[in-house]
Each structure stands twice: as C-alpha cells, then as structure tokens.
A and B are shown apart, each in its own frame.
Chain A
Amino acid sequence: MRRILIALSLCLLLSGCGMKDIDKRFYVVTTGIDWSGNPQKPYRISVRLAITSAKVESGSSKTQIVTIDAPSIAEGVRHLKSFVDKELEFGHCRVFILGKELLQNGPPGSMSWFARRRDIQLVSYFAVGDPDALSVLKVQPQSERYPGNALFLTFGKEGTESPYITTTYLFDMVRRHFEMGLDPVLPVIRPKEKTYEVDRVLLMDKKKSRLILTPEETQLYNMTANKATKSEMKMSRGADRVVLTVNYVRSKIDVGQGDIPLVTMKVKIRGFLEESPPDLLEKDWHGLERELGKHFSGQVEELLYKIRDAGVDPYGFGLHYLASYFGGKKDYERWVEAYSKVRFKVVTEVKITGAGVVR
C-alpha cells in the first residue's frame, strides 16, 4: 500500500507545463498571411484575437488585430506573443486566410507550419483574401455573436449553405498540395464594408495561383466536384428564364485510354422547377429535361476547357488517369504532356420532379 502511494505521489511530479487557464489564453480566431514585398521579411502575419465577454448578443463580438512582418511564419508568431498580454492559442483558429499576392509570388515555403503545429486543427478552413488577408481580418460583421463566428458559419455549412462557397480544409489542402494529378482549390473572400463576399474560387497548381473563377463558374465547379445541392440550373428560353432548383447532384469522371485521353463526365441532376413560364412542363417534360441537360453540359465543358488551359487540375483527372496505370513518375509525365490536349465530354441527365406546385 505504501509503495503504491509513493508511486502515485511521484506521478504527480510528472505533470507537464500545459496548465494555463482558459481566461489566460488569447484565442486567435482568424489568421491572415500576406506578402509584404520586403524580401528580408516576406511574410506579413496578422492575427485576429477574440475578446470574449460573458454577455453574448448579435454584434457584440469584439476583436483585436495584431500584425507583424517576419522572415517566416513560425518566427512571426513567436514574436507576436510579445505584443499581447495572454498566451496565443491557435486551438480554435478555424480560418486561415492567405493573401492573393502571396499566392502569386510563389509558394509559401513555410506553409507546412500549419500542418506541423499540434494545436492547429486539420479541419480548419483555408481561403484566399482578395485583395489581401489583412483587409478581410479587419471586417467586423454586424451579425457576429462570437468573435470570428461569421466565417466559421460560412465555411462550416452550419449556417449558410451556398453553392457558391467552396470549403477547403487544411488536411485536404495539404493532400492536394502533395498529390500528383490533383491541385488545390481555395475560396476567395472579398471584404465588403461590414460583410464578406465569398462567391469565387481560386485554382492553383503546386506553385502559385493560376485562375480565379467567376461566381457562375464557381457554382458549376461546386456542383460537379463537390455535389453542391441547394444549387440551381438556369437557362434562357426566349424571353423567359427557366430555373431548376437542384436537390441531388452526382458526377462521375471517367478518364479514357490512349495518347490523348478523352475525359467523360457523367452528371446526374434531380430537382424541381422554381421559375418557368406557365404550362411549360406539361407541354414537353422530357424535352425540357434534355434541353436543360444539354445546356448544362455545354457550360461545364466550357469550364473544363478553361481550367485545362490554365494548367491546373482541381478535379483530379490526373489522379484518375494514374489510378488506371501503375501511377509512377513516367505515367505522370505522360499525363502532364497529354493534359493540355485532353478533350472533354460531359453528359448530363436531368430529372425534373415537378414544378413545385400541386397541379
């Protein structure tokens, strides 16, 4: 018994130095990394810190922003600690924003910092700030109850669920950064007075950003790559607009064989008409479905060619290709060569479940 007691009391000495009360920690809610332009200290690191209060109401969130220029992110963060009175805590930092300029100026070499730090969650969201990250951080959304909550809700699909918003997690971004034949995609956040506009995506290759899609294209991308429901298909028909609300999207990619492979994408869409001229559906139900499908296929094909010409591969066609071969370096080189000449074929099968009203 005495021996057990001694062993237990010795265990008490083993405790680490992790003890730090929650009110002695400063929560970073958003981190922004920008390109400073100074080659000695290329990274401008800004953190948005939460000032919590016991009372919670809309618009009551208070934050503080601290900024520093540093030669690397790790050094910058270490230095930032001396600017604040409490321990910086990244455990709840769910949003990381990279400046648009930073991505244009080559890959951030110390990007692995995010994945290496133990307190940064791998499910945190990554995004691009346009024109820069700091200006996104400075926005104080009026509806925010908790500091930083607006962006958490935007990307977390807890709040808004929009087909224009792409969510990129840290683990996915790291994977896409290293995987052959699959490239990173980042949503673009543009500050606008007291709110954010998140309706574009930025496509990058392994090194730098290549292409920013328009909101329309972003929606098409999300539908075909991320199964984004609650989206819409639209088409002009003479003077009228036909709008289909999509409840169900599935897409299947098939990369063919041959020197210049043909990439086939099969899309299945189900939804109901939200806006259409009267009596349209009754006249020719299947005809309308075919027409919508054809229109959609055309749009997607156009998007795919645009993406191909930019030299990026957010869909992972390359990965599909490699999967049907041995997947070695040689296969990859062959794919890279072929990709610029690859042809696309999109087949869309639309099913209209109704017109949204009882006939």
Chain B
Amino acid sequence: MLDEIKKKLGAPADLVAETMDNGFTKMEFCFFPSMCDIKQVKDGILVPFSYRFDPDEFKRMLKADVCFIDAPDPEEWVGMLLKGCALIKYEDRVYSFAAIRKMQQQPEDTEVEASLQGPQSAMTEDLDMNTYLIRLRYNVPTLTIEKLEKGDVSKTRLNILYDRDKVDLNSLEELKKRLDTVHTKLLQAAGQLGMLLGNARFSMFPNTIQSERPDRVAQFLQRGKIAILVDGSRFAVAMPVRFFDFMHAMDDDYEPFWMGRVIILFRYIGMLLSMTLPALYIAVASYNPEFVRVQLAFSIDGSRAAVPYPSFVEVFIMLFMIEALIEASIRLPRFVGSTAATVGGLILGQAAQQAGLVSSIMIIVTSVVAISNFVIPNSSFSYSIRAMKYVFVVAAIFYGMVGVIVTMFLIIVYLCHLRSFGQPYLALFLPSDEQSQKKSGA
C-alpha cells in the first residue's frame, strides 16, 4: 500500500508513511500529520497498537469502531489521505481512520450581521460545527440534511438543509436541477455557490440570501426555505427569497413590536433615498427646479454658483469618491483603515465644497446616500442598491424627473417579474401554513 501511495503522491515531505512493528505483528501506516488530529491518531491507532496491544482486541476494534472504515479500493486512498484520514494496512486489509483536524472548536462572534440583543454567536468555517449550530436551534425530527460534494478540484462538502414538512417541493426540485448544472473547479464560499445557483448574470437583484447567523437560518428553515451550508464558509445560502427578506434584520424580531416596525419603515425609506437621491438631485438641479419649494431651489442655486461643471458631472465626482472610500475601507487592512476614512472624510467634507468642485447640497446628498445604504441589513442586497443608483442617475441625466419616475416604475415591474426558485420575488405575504395546506389538499 505504501509504495502505491508514495508513487501517486510523489512522496511529499509532510507525509508519514511507515511500517510499524510492535514485536508481535506489523502494520503499514500513513497519514499527513498536518491534516490530522494527532491526539486522535495517537489514541485511536498508536496506543492500541503499541503498548496496549492485544491482537484480538485490536481486530475487534478495527471491525466495530465506526471511525475505522474499510477501504479496499486503492483508487480512493489518495483522496482519503488528502482529506485528513489516516490509512492503515493490517493483516492485508486497508482501513481508513477519520481523524480530520478541526480548526473550529466553538462558534464565532457575529461580524457581518451584528445584533444588539439577539444571539451573538455566528457560524464558523467548519461544516460540522455549523450543522450542529443549526440542529441546536432548529431541533425537530423533520429537519432533513442531504450531503453533496461540489467542485472538481476542491471537492467541497455541502449540506442541504430543509424541513421536509414545510419546504416547497417545487423549489427543492428546482434547486436540485440547478445544482446538477453547477460545475466549477474551486468552490470556496457560500456566495460563490449562491451566484452559481442564482443565474446571476441576468439578475439585478440577488435571488439567494446569505447569512452567518444560525438563528436566522433556523427562521428560514421554519418558514419553509432551503439552506445550503458550504464547508469552509461561515455563511449559509438560503432560497427561495423574497425582496422583503433582505430588508429584515434579526433584531426586528427581538425588539418591541412597534419600535421594530418603525425601524423597518426607516430602513425602506433609507433604501429608497440611497437609490434615488443622486438622480433626484440631477433632476431638480438640471431639469425640474420647480419640483422643490422655492427656498430650497434658491439654496441649491446659490450653492451651485461656484461649481463649473453641470450637475451630473458633480454627482459622478462625488459618487466616485464615496464608492472609492467605501471600497477602500473594506479592502484595507484594519491598521490603516481609519486613515482612509479620515482622509476621505476631509476631502468629501468641507474641502471639496470650498474648492468649488461640488455644491454643499451635493455633499449632503452624498452622505445621505452612503449612510442610508449602510442601513440595508444584507450586504449583497446593498450592493444591488448601490448599483441600481447609477441606473437612476443615467435616467435622470437624459430625462430628468420623468426619467426617475419611469425608472422607478420599471424597477417595480422588473421586481414583480422576478422569481426566486419558482417563488414570486415581490410577494408581500406568504400564504400561512393553513392556507398552503388547504391548497395542497385541494
């Protein structure tokens, strides 16, 4: 066995492949120490084989222990080794011992979807840990888990989770169909899978949702959605989604009812502002100044007096700056991140206006756009809104206020047309359990 493996792997330096002899008998043994949990290997193989050796007991252990799997096929050996199993050959039979080293021993803290008073634990980059976290929160016998592997090179493990009583079978079927068509070499993140599944090239809005919160995934499951956990990613992908799922933060369910509703309302207003405000500024400043009241029109007029370029150039300058600033603060290492914010804040603030490059109203517009974009709880949706803003800007450049209104209308039409795994995207109310049961009964 050892020769064969060495031939296939090209005898890498970090492979331990030896024939062990305890005086009574011999055993061929090989594993990657870097990928295995040494303690498990020691307890499971080395100790029973060496100073506690008893031939009968050792044989019994190999046969009965669930950790030892028979591996008669030489083709599988290399794959098993690379996953972190240890292989032994004892009395001409090959067994694999799963002693995979785990990076994560406990749940992490939420980073992307922070919550004030909700659960603070987030999923980890380990699939089994994540499955445990969700089983813990959604502890019902109907929770079904299907295993799958994707990625020609990475062979990433996936778990598909759903509640078999509540799931929409059409969506499940559609998901499986789409999973069959997914072909990629490396599958490294949940977002990547979401993109591959979601037909993203032709969609302006995401039609899968990612979450790092186990409580959120549990809620999705309870609402009949399907979640996919990807090994090595701390996010779960859930589908089918509705427009309104993206605007929902877990805190809404944990805070007093009316306060939560008010916050949701503010969030929608923020989203609308972030999407349309630059376009409205262009429309008001270049086409329809009668749209705002006279006092505001005069202050826009007065503050624009020093600006040499037409309003849309001004908007593009400021939007580019703010996008660059946001992008920079995401990508920069944490140590220099605050420098970017300070420098950017200086430029975007007084200086640009005093230099006569942009009007003071435009600075307000820019900051409102940036801040209200952060209000959106889901980051992939907030990317969508960020991009959508430019559609409005272009419409406003050419058609003014009418353009903005017509674009708004078109986007609503588009959202109505959109389907996420067979479910309407803009459906306001999902049918309650009783209704859907009645429907399926009839």
A interface with B by C-beta (< 8 Å) = 11-12, 14-16, 18-23, 25, 27, 29, 50, 52-56, 89, 91-92, 94, 119, 121, 145-149, 152
Contacts and interface: CB of A to CB of B under 8 A. Distances in A.
B305 A52 contact: yes
Given A12-B398, A15-B399, A92-B289, A21 B304 contact: yes
Contacts of A27: 294, 297-298, 301
Interface of B: 284-290, 294-295, 297-307, 310-311, 360, 398-400
B416 to A, nearest CB: 18
B298 A50 contact: yes
Given A12-B398, A54-B360, A23 B301 contact: yes
Contacts of A92: 289-290, 294, 297
Nearest to A94: B294
Contacts of B310: 19, 21
A52 B361 CA distance: 15
Contacts of B360: 54
Contacts of A16: 399
30 contacts: A11-B398, A12-B398, A14-B398, A18-B287, A19-B310, A20-B286, A21-B285, A21-B286, A21-B304, A22-B284, A23-B301, A23-B305, A23-B307, A27-B294, A27-B298, A27-B301, A50-B301, A54-B302, A54-B360, A56-B299, A56-B302, A89-B289, A89-B290, A91-B289, A92-B289, A92-B294, A94-B294, A145-B295, A146-B294, A149-B295
Given A22-B311, A23-B304, A54-B302, A146 B289 contact: no
A149 B400 contact: no
Nearest to B287: A18
Contacts, number: 79
B294 A149 contact: yes
Contacts of B287: 18-20
Contact of B301 (A15, A22, A94, A121): A22
A177 B51 CA distance: 114
Contacts of A121: 290
B399 to A, nearest CB: 6
A163 to B, nearest CB: 25
Contacts of B300: 22
Contacts of A21: 285-286, 304, 310-311
Pick from B287, B294, B360, B400 the residue with the most CB of A within 10 Å: B294
Nearest to A54: B302
Contacts of B299: 52, 54, 56
A264 B252 CA distance: 61
A159 B250 CA distance: 46
A119 B289 CA distance: 10
B304 A91 contact: no
Contact of B286 (A19, A91, A119, A148): A19
A206 B399 CA distance: 41
B116 to A, nearest CB: 40
A148 B305 CA distance: 19
A121 B290 CA distance: 9
A174 B290 CA distance: 21
B298 A146 contact: yes
Contacts of A25: 289, 301
A314 B306 CA distance: 49
Contacts of A22: 284-286, 289, 297, 300-301, 304, 311
B166 to A, nearest CB: 37
Contact of B298 (A12, A18, A147): A147
A16 B398 CA distance: 8
A121 B297 CA distance: 15
A27 B307 CA distance: 18
A145 B284 CA distance: 22
A55 B306 CA distance: 13
B211 to A, nearest CB: 32
Contacts of B294: 27, 29, 92, 94, 146, 148-149, 152
B280 to A, nearest CB: 13
A19 B400 contact: yes
Nearest to B394: A12
Nearest to B310: A21
A52 B301 contact: yes
Nearest to B399: A15
Nearest to A50: B298
A133 to B, nearest CB: 20
Nearest to A53: B302
A143 to B, nearest CB: 14
A29 B295 CA distance: 11
8 closest Cβ pairs, A-B complex: A91-B290, A15-B398, A52-B302, A52-B301, A54-B302, A23-B304, A92-B294, A22-B285
A195 B398 CA distance: 43
A22 B295 CA distance: 13
A16 B397 CA distance: 11
Nearest to B291: A91
Contacts of B399: 15-16
B290 A52 contact: no
Nearest to A22: B285
A92 B288 CA distance: 11
A33 to B, nearest CB: 21
A53 B284 CA distance: 18
Given A21-B285, A23-B307, A92-B289, 4 more contacts: A14-B398, A19-B310, A54-B306, A146-B294
A27 B294 CA distance: 10
A16 to B, nearest CB: 8
A147 B297 CA distance: 11
A119 B360 CA distance: 27
Nearest to B398: A15
A55 B299 CA distance: 8
Contacts of A52: 298-299, 301-302, 305
Contacts of A23: 301, 304-305, 307
A11 B395 CA distance: 10
Contacts of B284: 22
Contacts of B302: 52-56
A317 B386 CA distance: 60
A89 B290 CA distance: 9
A74 to B, nearest CB: 19
